[in-house]
């Protein structure tokens, strides 16, 4: 098989840099280079060169900064995942987890680039910062990638695509390079982008600089020599004095800022003095200020107060005597190390920090964290605003829709949060998700830069179990509301089923319209409410059947009103007594003269389905039919007595029931509950504060009511109180 095109360039590059830097893993770089050359074999650059020439050039730029094997290998592989059929797992298998992670980071940045037209540039910048804050080597590869693309931008045929790339370079990549202190890279990016965007302005300024250089011939070397003489005379040690014309872009920006023509700009030259020690910087400054006239307002001490990107230098501006043009010059004074950091920024830190630690991922270096802090506290006009925003961003995660729209979610958000953010209906119907093209679980956490695609199903419904992992308020609220509605529906269905069953037990065929008389008789607002009341136990299904078909109640066996069934029972206040005598409502099915008691375990009230338990010598104790104390008598069925309430008997409110009120605790809670009770003419006999959690509390109430109908009304009124979440009749 023929070797892939451009392989010779790969081989040449790998052998050259491995020789120059023995720390590098020559074998790994060669494997990465070969693999990339084969992966890109069918592609060509717009200038007709084999595609692999581009990754090699990017790797070359980074090798120039003496970066590590992983970064250079990432540069060689940086377009493989995005532009060929080879996917990340293969990169990981071949080159290890660290390189795979870096390549993945660069791929994510490329994705941001593609959609930058859709969102605002400044916002993009922040996303970019966030996406790279984990490992700045990703950003370095991206910057080198952009630099090579800018160097070869002339070969891109479409003017609008050239323009967009240049704009993006100026708005995003050059400022990023500056933020991490890479002055040289920033200047080159700016110059290339400026030349593309404003070719006329660039040509004019460049021409003018050439003209000035030509006309005054050796003016830069001449001034360099003059500065050296000044330092010598004052006995200041120095390593180097170097002059240069400022970059066309920085001159143009100054022209814009000061609104002057090029002719009006006198300081287009800058000189740099490199000295051995920090203290020499101030000595050199003293000598310069002593020899020349200082331009007011131009002196800056970035040594005692470094720029946020770590830049250190003394800056001053002076007037050179005896010259008409170009009389003002800028002078920068710094040590060799300060110079290195100024030119190479992040990469310089990398060089200085190399050694045994170099093999570790960059995130383990504390200065990477420090650098991220620098990125987050850029000194721009709205610094305060900006830095608080970025502080917040650590609590956020940014993801993309398949169309490239940006979505902001709380940290640790899941695909379900994402789905609800897109639209509540998307959330409801969500059944699965793909992150960066791979199926994930719904509770998996999203990461910065993830592209998320939600899979929905027609008629899909939210799962209350999602509440355990969703992070966004929107998703929580929506799922919770759904869960409550579902619970309510379930309760309604339970109530309906109980009534249907009661109908069947009485030999009746259930029809909803047969319930109409019962709704009226039991004073319900409608069939639905009645279903709920049955489910919650406030009304029994048998009551409903009997209310609908009063004839089913069977022969009336009224008890003679005797002393036993008159008077007011003081239930709940009789202290140790387990049962209380003297019922207020007549009971059918009890032989006259038998003593009646109401069980304290279940507090039966008129309307409840009841049963009597005969106790020799004590009489009959009335329990509700669902009271679980009845289990104790299951071995002696002969003690059960079939009893019922006398129909139509409306006694005074004398039967105690116990209610549990779940409510949001607030200053009005107790008074509105008390009002509701008195409004219904019920009597509160006991009140206890139960479980308390956060804002919520339980109230346990003992209330005297007439019958179940009265109870239902009272419970309804209580439910209407502000802050009340639910009201239940306590069972046992």
| Residues belonging to the active site | 82-83
* Minimum distance of Mn ion from residue 149's CB (angstroms): 7
Backbone angles phi, psi at 625, to 5 degrees: -70, -20
Q: State the CB neighbour count (10 A cutoff) for residue 502.
A: 21
In this structure, what are the phi and psi dihedrals at residue 325, rounded to the nearest 5 degrees?
Answer: -80, 170
Dig out the tokens for 511 from the structure. Answer: 């029809």
* H, E, C per residue of 343-355: HHCHHHHHHHHCC
Judged by beta carbon, residue 107 or residue 191, the one nearer Mn ion is 107
CA neighbor of 708 nearest in space, from 587, 623, 608:
608
CB of 79 to Mn ion, least distance (A): 5
Give the nearest residue (CB) to Mn ion: 145
Q: Are 547 and 554 in contact (CB under 8 A)?
A: no
Query: How far is CA 700 from each of CA 368, 598, 610, 676, rounded to the nearest angstrom?
Result: 58, 20, 23, 15
Q: Which two tokens stand for residue 46?
A: 């717009």
Give residues 41-80 in contact with Mn ion (rule: CB under 5 A): 79
DSSP state of 287: H
CA atoms within 13 A on the CB side of 226: 18
Dihedral, CA of residue 330, residue 343, residue 52 and residue 94, to nearest 10: -170
Nearer to Mn ion, 40 or 280 (CB): 40
CB atoms near residue 387 (< 10 Å): 16
CB 561 within 8 A of CB 578: no
Give least dist CB 54 to Mn ion, A. Answer: 6
In the bound state with Mn ion, the residue whose beta carbon lies nearer, of 109 and 534, is: 109
Nearest alpha carbon to residue 248 among 270, 266, 268 = 268
Is there binding between residue 168 and Mn ion (CB under 5 A)? no
Q: Whose Cβ is closer to Mn ion: residue 55's or residue 651's?
A: 55
Size of the site for Mn ion (CB under 5 A): 2
Question: E strand or H helix at 664, and its extent?
Answer: strand 655-664
Q: Which of residues 328-347 bind Mn ion (CB under 5 A)?
A: none
Residues 593 and 204: their CA atoms lie apart, in Å, by: 121
Question: Shortest gap between Cβ of 166 and Mn ion (angstroms)?
Answer: 16
Pick 156 or 273: Cβ nearer Mn ion: 156
Q: Does 145 bind Mn ion (CB under 5 A)?
A: yes
H/E/C letters for each residue in 252-277?
A: HHHHHHHCCCHHHCCCCEEEEEEECC
Q: Which is nearer to Mn ion, 135 or 145 (CB)?
A: 145
Nearer to Mn ion, 145 or 326 (CB): 145
- Minimum distance from CB of 13 to Mn ion (Å)? 16
Nearer Cβ to Mn ion, position 145 or 644? 145
Q: On the CB side of 197, how many CA atoms lie within 13 Å of its CA?
A: 18
- At closest approach, how far in Å is the CB of 472 from Mn ion? 35
Burial 346-385 (b: 16+ CB within 10 A, else e): bbbbbeeeeeeebeeebeebebbeebbebbbebeeeeeee
Measured CA to CA, the distance from residue 180 to residue 523 in angstroms comes to 76
Q: Which stretch binds Mn ion (CB under 5 A): 128-136, 137-145, 200-208, 559-567?
A: 137-145
Neighbouring C-beta atoms of residue 526, cutoff 10 Å: 10
From 143-151, 275-283, 613-621, 705-713, give the range in contact with Mn ion by CB under 5 A: 143-151
Residues 227 and 243: their CA atoms lie apart, in Å, by 10
Cα 231 to chain centroid, rounded: 58
Residues 77 to 116 in contact with Mn ion, rule: CB under 5 A = 79
Nearer to Mn ion, 145 or 188 (CB): 145
CB 700 within 8 A of CB 672: no
H/E stretch holding 481 reads: helix 473-505
Residues 653-712 that bind Mn ion (CB under 5 A): none
CB of residue 135 vs Mn ion: minimum separation in angstroms?
18
Q: To the nearest whole angstrom, how small is the minimum distance from the Cβ of residue 197 to Mn ion?
A: 21
Alpha-carbon span 36 to 86, nearest angstrom: 10
Alpha carbons 287 and 639: distance in angstroms, whole number: 117
Task: With CA atoms as reference, report the closest residue to 673 among 684, 656, 524, 571.
Answer: 684
Shortest reach from residue 127's CB to Mn ion, in Å? 19
Nearby residues of 158 by Cβ (< 8 Å), 6 or more positions away: none
Q: Which is nearer to Mn ion, 188 or 224 (CB)?
A: 188
Q: Report if residue 608 touches Mn ion, rule: CB under 5 A.
A: no
Smallest distance from Mn ion to CB 138, Å: 13
3-state class of 445 per DSSP?
Answer: coil
Smallest distance, Mn ion to C-beta of residue 277, A: 42
- 158-165 CB contacts, 8 Å cutoff, 24+ apart: 162/196, 163/196, 163/197, 164/117, 165/196
- Name the nearest CA neighbour of 621 among 654, 590, 586: 590
Contacts of 328 (CB under 8 A, 6+ apart): 266, 267, 295, 317, 318, 319, 320
Site of tokens 């002696």: 636
- Please give the structure tokens belonging to residue 608: 């409840």
Element (DSSP H or E) covering residue 409: strand 406-410
Nearer to Mn ion, 75 or 416 (CB): 75
Min separation Cβ 58 and Mn ion, Å = 6
Among 140-148, 165-173, 268-276, 497-505, the segment contacting Mn ion (CB under 5 A): 140-148
- Please give the residue ranges that form the binding site for Mn ion (CB under 5 A): 79, 145
């Amino acid at each position: 098989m023929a070797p892939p095109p451009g392989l010779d360039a790969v081989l040449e590059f790998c052998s050259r840099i491995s020789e120059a830097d023995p720390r590098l893993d020559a074998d790994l770089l060669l494997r990465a280079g070969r693999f990339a050359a084969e992966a890109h074999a069918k592609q060509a650059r717009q200038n007709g060169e084999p595609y692999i020439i581009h990754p090699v050039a990017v790797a070359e730029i980074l090798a120039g900064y003496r970066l590590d094997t992983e970064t250079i290998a990432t540069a060689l592989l940086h377009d493989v995942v995005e532009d060929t059929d080879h996917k990340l797992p293969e990169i990981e298998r071949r080159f290890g987890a660290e390189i795979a992670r870096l390549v993945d980071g660069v791929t994510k940045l490329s994705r941001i680039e593609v959609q930058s037209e859709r969102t605002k540039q400044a916002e993009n910048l922040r996303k970019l910062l966030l996406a790279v804050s984990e490992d700045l080597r990703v950003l370095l590869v991206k910057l080198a990638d952009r630099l090579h693309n800018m160097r070869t931008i002339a070969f891109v045929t479409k003017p609008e695509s050239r323009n967009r790339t240049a704009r993006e370079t100026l708005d995003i990549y050059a400022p990023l390079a500056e933020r991490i202190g890479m002055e040289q890279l920033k200047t080159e990016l700016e110059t290339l982008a400026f030349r593309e965007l404003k070719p006329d302005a660039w040509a004019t300024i460049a021409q003018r600089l050439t003209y000035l250089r030509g006309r005054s011939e050796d003016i830069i070397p001449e001034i360099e020599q003059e500065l050296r003489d000044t330092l010598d005379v004052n006995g200041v040690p120095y390593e180097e004095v170097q002059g240069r014309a400022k970059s066309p872009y920085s001159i143009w920006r100054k022209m814009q800022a000061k609104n002057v023509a090029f002719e009006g700009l006198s300081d287009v030259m800058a000189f740099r003095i490199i000295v051995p020690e920090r203290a020499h910087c101030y000595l050199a400054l003293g000598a310069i200020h002593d020899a020349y006239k200082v331009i007011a307002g131009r002196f800056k001490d970035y040594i005692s107060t470094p720029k946020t990107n770590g830049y250190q230098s003394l800056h001053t501006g002076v007037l050179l005597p005896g010259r008409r043009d170009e009389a003002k010059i800028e002078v920068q004074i710094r040590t060799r190390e300060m110079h290195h950091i100024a030119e190479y920024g992040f990469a310089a830190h990398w060089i200085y920090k190399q050694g045994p630690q170099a093999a570790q991922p960059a995130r383990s270096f504390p200065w990477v964290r420090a650098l991220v802090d620098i990125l987050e506290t850029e000194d721009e006009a709205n610094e305060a605003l900006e830095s608080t925003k970025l502080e917040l961003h650590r609590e956020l995660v940014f993801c993309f829709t398949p169309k490239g729209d940006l979505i902001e979610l709380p940290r640790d958000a899941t695909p379900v949060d994402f789905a609800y953010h897109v639209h509540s209906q998307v959330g409801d119907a969500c059944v699965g998700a793909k992150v960066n093209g791979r199926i994930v679980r719904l509770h998996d956490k999203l990461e910065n830069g993830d592209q998320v695609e939600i899979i929905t199903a027609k008629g899909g419904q939210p799962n209350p179990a999602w509440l355990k992992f969703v992070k966004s308020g929107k998703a929580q609220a929506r799922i919770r509301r759904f869960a409550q509605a579902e619970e309510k529906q379930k309760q309604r269905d339970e109530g309906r089923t109980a009534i249907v069953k009661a109908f069947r037990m009485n030999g009746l065929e259930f029809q909803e319209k047969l319930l109409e008389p019962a709704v009226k008789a039991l004073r319900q607002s409608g069939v639905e409410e009645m279903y709920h009341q049955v489910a919650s136990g406030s009304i029994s299904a048998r009551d409903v059947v009997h209310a609908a078909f009063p004839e089913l109640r069977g022969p009336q066996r009224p008890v003679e009103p005797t002393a036993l069934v008159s008077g007011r029972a003081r239930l709940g206040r009789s202290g140790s007594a387990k049962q209380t005598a003297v019922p207020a409502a007549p009971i059918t099915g009890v032989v006259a003269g038998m003593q009646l008691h109401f069980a304290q375990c279940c507090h039966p009230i008129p309307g409840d389905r009841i049963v009597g338990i005969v106790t020799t010598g004590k009489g009959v104790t009335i329990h509700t039919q669902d009271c679980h104390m009845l289990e104790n008598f299951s071995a002696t069925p002969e003690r059960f007595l079939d009893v019922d309430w006398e129909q139509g008997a409306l006694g005074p409110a004398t039967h105690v029931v116990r209610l549990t009120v779940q409510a949001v605790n607030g200053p009005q809670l107790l008074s509105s509950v008390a009002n509701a009770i008195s409004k219904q003419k019920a009597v509160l006999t006991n009140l206890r504060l139960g479980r308390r959690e956060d804002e919520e509390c339980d109230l346990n109430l003992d209330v005297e009511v007439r019958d179940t109908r009265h109870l239902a009304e009272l419970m309804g009124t209580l439910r209407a109180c502000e802050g009340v979440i639910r009201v239940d009749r306590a069972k046992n």
